[in-house]
């Protein structure tokens, strides 16, 4: 048991936009790092592991096991084990929620998942958004660009809104042109930004509402870093939503935990 606790394992989550690595000893995160995935998932996985280890002043030879997850999981050829991001998100969220079952919303770059996590981090059921990008991190990024800001700037703008605009397009490409036409109509950026968050929140909420209401709602993935999206979700669902610590690393951590 003691020796098992000393073991160092790495979880690498190769997402569509960013690649995350968490180095874990026992169950404690001892180092983590995040980089853009760019075009080569395998390269990104190597680089992020190297950097995470460098940050923790650890030698690669100490790493006992590497678990990969995320859309590029099978491209990480040096991984000892592969798990899907759904199972990993469930395991990470369950651990960070003090081993309590919950409903997990994971907003990533190209996927949004809603996962019902039961006892022992078991995935009871899950839903993923359709193949298009509406309701994902990518959508937020595109909308931020249309409004000449970044994702954090989008949240600040939304906070100052008085009359959120309504954005109806469910397709991110059309939503962009909708935003452009709202700007042309003279609607202020603040109201458009708030409208963007509400439109994503509505899409995520329709997924959440397909699950039983009793469970606590947790929020992770890159999307959870956006305070604007968090507020819009709480408003739309009329529920409290807990953001997990270091939300972008939940899946990478969960990959390690799920592999045990």
Q: What sign for the dihedral angle of Cα 161, 134, 217, 226?
A: negative
Q: Report the distance separating Cα 24 and Cα 8, nearest Å.
A: 6
Which one, 76 or 165, has the nearer CB to another protein? Answer: 76
Residues contacting residue 190 through CB under 8 Å, at least 6 positions apart: 157, 158, 160, 161, 162
Which one, 123 or 241, has the nearer CB to another protein? Answer: 123
Interaction site with another protein (CB under 8 A): 71, 82-87, 110-111, 122-126, 128, 130-131
The closest of 137, 211, 190 to 239, measured between CA atoms, is 211
Q: How far is the CB of 118 from another protein (least distance, A)?
A: 10
Q: How far is the CB of 131 from another protein (least distance, A)?
A: 4
Q: How far is the CB of 143 from another protein (least distance, A)?
A: 22
Which one, 13 or 190, has the nearer CB to another protein? Answer: 13
Which one, 174 or 245, has the nearer CB to another protein? Answer: 174
Q: Report the distance separating Cα 92 and Cα 244, nearest Å.
A: 10
DSSP 8-state class, residue 183: H
Q: State the maximum Cα–Cα separation within the chain, in Å, rounded to a whole number.
A: 66
**Which structure tokens are listed for 93?**
């969220």
Three-state DSSP state, 238: coil
Which one, 91 or 144, has the nearer CB to another protein? Answer: 91
| Residue given tokens 């995470």 in the structure block | 52
- 8 Å CB contact between 155 and 228: yes
Q: How far is the CB of 87 from another protein (least distance, A)?
A: 4
Q: How far is the CB of 78 from another protein (least distance, A)?
A: 18
Q: How far is the CB of 221 from another protein (least distance, A)?
A: 14
Which one, 32 or 136, has the nearer CB to another protein? Answer: 136
């Amino acid at each position: 048991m003691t020796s098992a606790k000393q073991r160092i394992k790495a979880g690498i989550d190769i997402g569509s936009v960013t690649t995350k690595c968490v180095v874990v000893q026992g169950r404690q995160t001892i180092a983590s790092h995040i980089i853009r995935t760019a075009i080569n998932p395998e390269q990104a996985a190597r680089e992020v592991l190297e950097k995470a280890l460098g940050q923790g002043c650890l030698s690669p030879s100490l790493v006992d096991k590497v678990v990969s997850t995320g859309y590029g999981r099978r491209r990480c050829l040096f991984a000892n084990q592969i798990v899907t991001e759904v199972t990993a998100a469930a395991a990470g969220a369950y651990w960070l929620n003090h081993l309590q079952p919950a409903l997990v919303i994971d907003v990533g770059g190209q996927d949004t998942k809603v996962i019902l996590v039961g006892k022992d981090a078991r995935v009871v059921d899950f839903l993923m958004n359709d193949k298009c990008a509406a309701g994902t991190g990518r959508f937020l990024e595109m909308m931020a660009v249309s409004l000449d800001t970044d994702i954090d700037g989008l949240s600040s703008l939304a906070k100052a809104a008085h009359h959120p605009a309504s954005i109806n397009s469910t397709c991110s490409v059309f939503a962009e042109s909708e935003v452009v036409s709202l700007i042309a109509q003279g609607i202020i950026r603040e109201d458009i930004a708030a409208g963007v968050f509400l439109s994503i929140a509505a899409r995520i909420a329709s997924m959440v509402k397909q699950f039983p209401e009793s469970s606590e709602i947790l929020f992770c993935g890159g999307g959870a870093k956006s305070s604007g999206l968090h507020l819009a979700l709480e408003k739309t669902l009329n529920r409290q939503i807990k953001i997990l610590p270091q939300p972008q690393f939940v899946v990478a951590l969960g990959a390690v935990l799920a592999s045990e």
